[in-house]
């Protein structure tokens, strides 16, 4: 392993950065609240304090410190962002907002670059196939985002202003109010920047603006709760398009832009009908719309989802869950003269049993899916945990996952309406060791095999999508955290071998070695922190010539801090890329150099 990677591991984190050592409560790992320390699958939690202290602008920025996750970004703020979850592809990870999947029906991935962290309350990162609980797309893992922060009584609120390089400005405000059995919350943020040139041969900056807001209302009644919520992000992204017009056929860059409008609306009703049995019904609508401003091209997703989940608490301490869901997904796209518009529906049922006996924990689940076009499929998981003592938990997991082909893959580019879902099989062995109070080590060995990978065969426009490729990814990820007095340290390392078995090549944009670290110090009225990120070289495709290439290894150092002027007012700031490292996340696409931003925040708490 590269010496710099080991130095990063020894120096500085990923995951939960809270100064306290109380167990985080997670929901996504099992479908109901449990302690993160008891989860049989690897879990990371970013709570509201973690998110605020990170000074991350969007969800992609926040996740860059999560161990086992790698990012690709086609330029600066607002540009398309890819997520590689332990070597899996960006369209093989599922993103939820308030429990609702937001992955696009046209490109399969989620627009991480448009999810503003200023309106986020909690983020859970679950690794490994999770299709038994969460369905299609959860091959690499699940990222569950909560934007709601209801309070039982009283009024809480915040407002902040931030400015930085590239004429970047951010405004955000929000409040939550509770009285009796009812509560309401709302928030809004606005971000704008001139950006940077997208491609390394471009001279014009590509700007970006994003207006996001969310609102939620909750009411508790005897034996249950009803809530409704809405989150939305809309704005404009500028970027560089390139063409090869005749007669010279030389490359020409054109500044273009697209409007985006992403939203999630949900209504949830939860009630305990009999002692120990709680039922929750959620009806949701998710939209992901992109419209080009310089052409007639567009890509629209509209998904209606009805989800019914039940939890059963048995008298012996075991927990059971079962449920069903039905979805109606409309995809419409027009791109380079090719188009499609159609609706696909699918239904599924699932069941899971969580048995606990003394030091043993067995978790087993199964999901049956009926897809209108892809047919019937079964997926499942089996996990076992053994607690050696109060400090040590040994874990083993076997799970399967799947991803349905998108409308683009079936009907637009290199179309094949008979495509089968991509399928995965994964096994993982891990240990969580609480060395002492405030000191923990987590190590996981994993192996994932993905079959029926969808690839384009032949030369466009005569190419066709086929289920022919097979990927195999195995590796180890480890994280160490230490909380001691005012200090908090977390380091992590990922060593993996992500390969395309069909041609014995490395999967693109995935490093064999990466390491991340974070060190925080909390003083009387101030906080200071540093982040160190190392990534080894990665195979890629040149963004202009489309020939195979390799992007260099890089090391990033980021600083952040805050100062409390009084109990309500706080100054904060950060310096990203302190060393002004010249690096690429995607070949031929620029990344920001050294960037400074400062802001002030008012909080009623």
Closest C-alpha among 558, 552, 597 to residue 579: 558
Chain centre to alpha carbon of residue 84: 10
First to last CA, the chain: 46
- How many other C-beta atoms are found inside a 10 Å radius of the C-beta of residue 317? 10
- How many other C-beta atoms are found inside a 10 Å radius of the C-beta of residue 273? 11
- How many other C-beta atoms are found inside a 10 Å radius of the C-beta of residue 492? 26
Chain centre to alpha carbon of residue 563: 30
Instruction: Tell me the C-alpha distance between 490 and 17, whole Å.
Output: 8
pLDDT, residue 461, reads 65
pLDDT in tens, 280-321: 999 999 999 999 999 999 999 999 999 999 999 999 999 999
pLDDT, residue 18, reads 35
Closest C-alpha among 468, 342, 326 to residue 406: 342
pLDDT, residue 152, reads 75
pLDDT, residue 247, reads 63
pLDDT, residue 385, reads 97
Complete domains list, the chain, with CATH: 3-603 (2.40.170.20)
Q: What is the DSSP string of 133-167?
A: HH-TT-SSEEEEEE-----SSEEEEEEEEEEETTT
Q: What is the DSSP string of 550-589?
A: EEPPEEEEEEEEEEESSSSEEEEEEEESTT-----SSTTB
Buried b (16+ CB within 10 A) or exposed e, 523-555: eeeebebbbbbbbbebbbeebeeeeebebebbb
**Token pair for 167:** 């004429």
Q: What is the DSSP string of 66-103?
A: STTEEEEESSSTTS-EEEEETT--GGGEEEEETTEE--
- How many other C-beta atoms are found inside a 10 Å radius of the C-beta of residue 447? 14
Q: Which residues of the chain have pLDDT under 70?
A: 1-23, 244-250, 459-461
SS3 for 447-486 is EEEEEEEEEEECCCCCCEEEEEEEEEEEEEEEEEEEEECC
pLDDT in tens, 95-128: 999 999 999 998 889 999 999 999 999 999 999 8
pLDDT, residue 460, reads 63
Considering Cα of 148, then 149, then 155, then 161, what sign does the dihedral take? negative
Instruction: Tell me the C-alpha distance between 387 and 37, whole Å.
Output: 11
Residues 383-391: contacts with CB under 8 Å, at least 24 apart? 383/40, 383/41, 384/40, 384/360, 385/38, 385/40, 385/360, 385/361, 386/359, 386/360, 386/361, 387/359, 387/361, 388/359, 390/434, 391/433, 391/434, 391/435
pLDDT in tens, 86-98: 999 989 999 999 9
pLDDT, residue 14, reads 32
Considering Cα of 291, then 292, then 298, then 303, what sign does the dihedral take? negative
Number of alpha helices (DSSP H) and beta strands (DSSP E) in the chain:
5, 34
- How many other C-beta atoms are found inside a 10 Å radius of the C-beta of residue 324? 15
Instruction: Tell me the C-alpha distance between 598 and 89, whole Å.
Output: 35
Q: Which residue has the tokens 């509209």?
A: 302
Helices (H), 251-360: none
Question: For residue 106, what are the β-bridge partners?
Answer: none
pLDDT, residue 237, reads 98
DSSP 58: B
**Token pair for 406:** 């998108």
């Amino acid at each position: 392993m590269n010496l710099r990677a080991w130095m990063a591991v020894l120096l500085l984190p990923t995951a939960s950065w809270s100064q306290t050592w109380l167990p985080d409560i997670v929901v996504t790992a099992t479908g109901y609240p449990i302690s993160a320390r008891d989860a049989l699958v690897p879990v990371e939690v970013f709570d509201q304090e973690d998110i605020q202290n990170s000074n991350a602008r969007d969800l992609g920025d926040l996740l860059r410190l999560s161990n086992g996750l790698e990012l690709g970004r086609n330029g600066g703020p607002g540009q398309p962002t890819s997520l590689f979850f332990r070597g899996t592809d960006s369209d093989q990870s599922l993103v939820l907002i308030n429990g609702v999947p937001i992955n696009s029906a046209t490109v399969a991935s989620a627009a991480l670059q448009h999810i503003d962290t200023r309106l986020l309350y909690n983020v859970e990162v679950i690794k490994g196939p999770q299709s038994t609980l969460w369905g299609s797309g959860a091959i690499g893992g699940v990222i569950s985002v909560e934007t709601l922060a209801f309070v039982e009584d009283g009024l809480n609120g915040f407002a902040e202003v931030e400015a930085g390089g590239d004429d970047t400005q951010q405004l955000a405000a929000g409040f939550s109010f509770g009285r009796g059995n009812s509560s309401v919350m709302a928030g809004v943020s606005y971000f704008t920047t001139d950006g940077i040139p997208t491609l390394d041969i471009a001279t014009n900056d590509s700007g970006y603006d994003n207006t996001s807001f969310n609102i939620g209302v909750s009411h508790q009644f005897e034996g249950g709760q009803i809530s409704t919520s809405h989150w939305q992000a809309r704005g404009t992204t500028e970027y560089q398009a390139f063409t090869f017009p005749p007669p010279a056929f030389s490359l020409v860059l054109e500044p273009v832009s697209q409007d985006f409008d992403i939203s999630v609306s949900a209504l949830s009703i939860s009630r305990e009908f009999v002692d120990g049995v709680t039922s929750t019904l959620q009806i949701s609508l998710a939209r992901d719309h992109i419209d080009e401003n310089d052409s007639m091209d567009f890509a629209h997703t509209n998904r209606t989802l009805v989800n019914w989940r039940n939890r059963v608490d048995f008298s012996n301490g075991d927990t059971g869950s079962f449920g069903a869901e039905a979805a109606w997904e409309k995809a419409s796209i027009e791109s380079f003269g090719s188009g499609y518009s159609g609706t696909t529906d699918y239904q599924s049922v699932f069941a899971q049993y969580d048995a606990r006996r003394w030091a043993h924990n067995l978790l087993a689940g199964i999901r049956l899916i009926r897809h209108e076009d892809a047919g019937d499929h079964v997926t499942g998981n089996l996990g076992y945990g053994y607690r050696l003592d109060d400090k040590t938990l040994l874990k083993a997991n076997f799970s399967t996952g799947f991803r349905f082909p998108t409308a683009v893959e079936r009907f637009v580019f290199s179309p094949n309406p008979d495509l089968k879902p991509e399928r995965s099989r994964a096994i993982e062995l891990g240990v969580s060791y609480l060395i002492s109070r405030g000191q923990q080590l987590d190590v996981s060995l994993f192996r994932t095999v993905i079959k029926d990978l969808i690839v384009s065969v032949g030369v466009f426009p005569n190419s066709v999508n086929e289920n022919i490729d097979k990927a195999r990814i195995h590796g180890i990820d480890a994280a160490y955290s230490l909380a001691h007095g005012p200090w908090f340290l977390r380091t992590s390392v990922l060593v993996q071998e992500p390969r395309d078995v069909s041609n014995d090549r490395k999967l693109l944009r995935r490093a064999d070695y990466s390491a991340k670290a974070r060190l925080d110090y909390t003083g009387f009225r101030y906080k200071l922190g540093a982040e160190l990120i190392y990534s080894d070289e990665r195979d890629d495709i040149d963004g202009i010539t489309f020939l195979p290439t390799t992007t260099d290894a890089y090391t990033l150092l980021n600083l952040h801090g805050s100062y409390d002027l009084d109990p309500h007012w706080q100054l904060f700031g950060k310096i990203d890329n302190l060393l002004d490292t010249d690096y690429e996340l995607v070949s031929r696409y620029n990344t920001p150099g050294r960037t400074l931003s400062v802001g002030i925040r008012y909080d009623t708490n």
